[in-house]
Structure 1
Amino acid sequence: MIYSNAEVFLDGKFIKADLEVVDGKFAAIYRNGPDAKQLYTDSNLVVDCTGKKILPGFIELHSHGCMGLDFTTATATEIEKMCCYYASKGITSILATTMTIDYPRYKQAMTTIKHTMDTSKKGSRILGINMEGPFLGADRKGAHDTRYLLPIDEQKYEELNALSGDNIRIIDLDPNLENSMAFIRKHKDRKVLSLAHTSCTYNTALEAIHAGASHVTHLFNAMNGLHHREPGIIGAVSDSNVFAEIICDGIHIHPSVLRLIFKAIPEKLILVSDSMSAAGLTDGIYELGGQKVYVSNNKACLEDGTIAGSTTNLFQSFLNLTSYGIPLEHAVLSATLNPAKAVKAEQEIGSIEIGKRGDFIILKTDTSIEKVYKDGTVIFEC
């Protein structure tokens, strides 16, 4: 197929181009050259995209659930339903994000996600698992249930990873926990180690990064704030070659702070939703990690008022960024190439390049989604 006359996001900017997709991959890119439609005499093989934009498929690295469902407790059929919802929001690849819960259910979650990855073709592609918990700090636990938090436990991790089929891609942990540095050094070459839910200092964060941590979970949230004498993780991110997630629902981080951080380190930022089961639904009472979550005016909280994930989605977060004044190009990269690089998947996904998977979004002139493609096949159509 040829997708003709679009404004295509290439090399970090929008360029007038035609795309050719063959066998599920980008086969050719015609930039400002002769009309690529000349290559196809069959008009059924040409899609006219005049006035529209084509973006790489979005990559969601941190979402616990949507549509009343949660990766930690859902069945394979329910996970398929979730993946169809994610596809409708422009997400072509996702990490199924787990939540601290009792250990038997955690093991079952790993088994179920692996089974879904092996068998399902519907909606978004599950790239792997983001294991958020149970190796987190109780003092910055957020919505994680203290009863099920654990010290760094190599045996339990190996069991969970085996049940997942070696599909855990991100391991979230508090570097203040005993044995965390040794754990990071041991697994850094095969997994992405992310600093999360911690009150660690700047120096401890740097120690963990030097040991091999390369990722930070939801920057600004569930960590110490930036202070001019105690810069904490935020200062360590600024000084180091790491990626950092940001939640852009308008609740977790003030737009002014988002503008500031995008001016400072746009190349390190990864847009995530951190959505929970209420995403895609109305206000009400839901569940996250076995705990009740109360959603009012799109804000999700535990009974004690602790923010418990979000009710947004990646595409709405992307629109939020642009409405806050973040350059469109930075917003696109934070949802595409940056997350691909963070999980070492940039050779296959994250940008529109010859030989990469044909994952892309066609936006209408009003910036709403018209179609979403995964491996060159439509997985959502408005």
Structure 2
Amino acid sequence: MNKTIIINGRIVLPEGVLADGCVEFADGKITAVKEGPYNGQATGTIINAQGNYVSPGFIDIHTHGAGGHDFMDGTVEAYLGAAQMHARHGTTALLPTTLTSTNEELLNTFATYKEAKAQNRSGAAFLGLHLEGPYFSYNQRGAQDPKYLRNPRPEEYETILAASDDIVRWSVAPELDGALEFGRRLAERGILPSIGHTDAIYEQVEEAYRHAGYTHVTHLYSCMSTITRRNAYRYAGALEAAYMMDDMTVEIIADGVHLPASLLKYVCKFKGPDKIALVTDSMRGAGMPEGETILGSLKDGQRVIIEDGVAKLPDRSAFAGSVATADRLVRTIVSLAGVQLADAVKMMTLTPARIMKVDDCKGSLAVGKDADIVIFDEGINVKTTIIGGKCLTIH
């Protein structure tokens, strides 16, 4: 057993931070979490945290790419490059996320994902695929290419489901014709149906939540209905439904741009860290300089502009995904929303792990869980990333 011991660290646990402690791991699993200073008697490889924070690895359940790579590029190189960039910023596991596209592109994505997962040795681990679209509201399409939007039909989605056993999440507008039946089909297969890019009113969301398995909300506030008037009557929207349904989980792009400080504080106050996952929703521009780039595949994607710390459509009518990394999300939710560090970390680790039902092996520093660990300083700048016990990044 090749044991490694992280010493002199402030250990971030779901319930708070240990001022001084050690984390031991061997063969890719955590073997001990101890409070108190290292006594110097144990044998094994020593990593000195030097008083920095020792946290579970970050889990990003909604990302399209990073480092000049997009998962829709359809290449193994893009998958591995994006995973490596995210790992440098503390992400130890992620869900590669698609955009609306042709079915041909989607089927190519499935094959590429399998090959990339088998080759991934130096980046954030892949937990399965998140399909974002094409079953979205036209009015709430955001940067999704409108020519691919359509309603879910069994003859199409059954073909897609049969083509891959790696789909673990699918974002859908639940008000579309056929969406409730589709949600129930996803839930039967153990795939998370998520509400996104939706113009639904409250009652439609409630039905989807209670009767079709839609228990999660994709990027709260972004591309989402709120209070509207129809025939002079007011109707609550998907946004209000997300707050009213206590057990519904949500995700937020906490880059400080998609949601300002006031809304970050609001969602944290009323949903809390156990129901909020931080997501990057990052596109290829994450970790890259500002300027023009492509959202989606290099072949068929849309031209977008990175400026002011976010990606925008060329006419600046909408955001086009973020350029955030996980460390920026944690830093922002602490600095702008005043969230305690342990809660901020929970929203980037244990809560997304629970949403995706992988909390038995990921999401917290506990004996028996995967040795996915990140060490960061007071400013939440990543110093070391450890994935499955392998130290991949040291700054």
TM-score range, shorter chain: over 0.9
1:10 aligns with 2:13: yes
In structure 1, what is the Cα distance between the partners aligned to 2:110 and 2:359? 25
2:327–2:382 contact (8 Å) kept in structure 1: no
TM-fit CA distance, 1:226: 5.5
How far apart are the structure 2 equivalents of 1:158 and 1:2?
A: 48
**Relative to structure 1, is the Cα distance of residues 275 and 226 closer, same or farther in structure 2, using a 3 angstrom cutoff?**
farther
2:143: which partner in 1?
A: 143
Aligned residues of 2:21 and 2:38 also touching (Cα < 8 A): no
Q: Tell me the equivalent position of 1:177.
A: 176
Q: Where does residue 358 of structure 1 map in the other structure?
A: 371
1:334-353 to 2 correspondence within 5 Å? Answer: 334-353=347-366
TM-score normalized with structure 2 length: 0.91
| Alpha-carbon distance in 1 for matches of 2:97, 2:32 | 34
Aligned equivalents of 1:283 and 1:49: distance in 2? 33
Unaligned runs of 5+ in 1: none
Which residue in the other structure is 2:222 paired with?
Answer: 221
Q: Whole-Å Cα distance in 2 between the matches of residues 364 and 348 of structure 1?
A: 25
- Amino acid across the alignment from 1:222: C
TM superposition shift of 1:176: 0.9
Deviations 1:182-233 (A, max 9, x none): 1112221411010010110111111111121111000011012368964322
Trace 1:198-277 onto structure 2 (pairs within 5 A): 198-211=198-211, 212-225=213-226, 230-240=235-245, 241-266=247-272, 267-277=274-284
Q: Give the corresponding residue for 1:62.
A: 62
* Paired residues of 1:100 and 1:148 also in contact (CA < 8 A): yes
Residue 318 of structure 2: aligned partner = 306
| Percentage of matched positions with identical amino acids | 30
Question: What secondary structure, in the 3-state scheme, does the structure 2 residue paired with 1:331 have?
Answer: helix
Distance (whole Å) between structure 2 residues aligned to residue 227 and residue 326 of structure 1:
31
Q: Partners in 1 of 2:392 and 2:17 — Cα distance?
A: 23
Paired letter, 1:285: E
User: Compared with structure 1, are the counterparts of its residues 329 and 216 closer, same or farther at alpha carbon in structure 2 (3 Å cutoff)?
Assistant: same
How many aligned positions are there?
377
RMSD of aligned Cα (Å): 1.8
* TM-score, structure 1 normalization: 0.94
Letter in 2 for 1:281: M
CA distance change for structure 1 residues 355 and 208 in 2, over 3 Å: closer, same or farther? Answer: same
One-letter amino acid of the counterpart of residue 258, structure 1: L
Matched position secondary structure for 1:309: strand
Give CA-to-partner distance per residue, 1:98-135, whole Å, 9 cap, x none.
00012211221122112211332221101111100111
Please name the residue that 1:28 is paired with. Answer: 32
Q: For residues 256-276 of structure 1, give each alpha carbon's deviation from its aligned partner in whole angstroms, at most 9, with x where no partner exists.
A: 110111111112111011111
- Which secondary structure state, in structure 2, belongs to the residue aligned with residue 320 of structure 1? helix
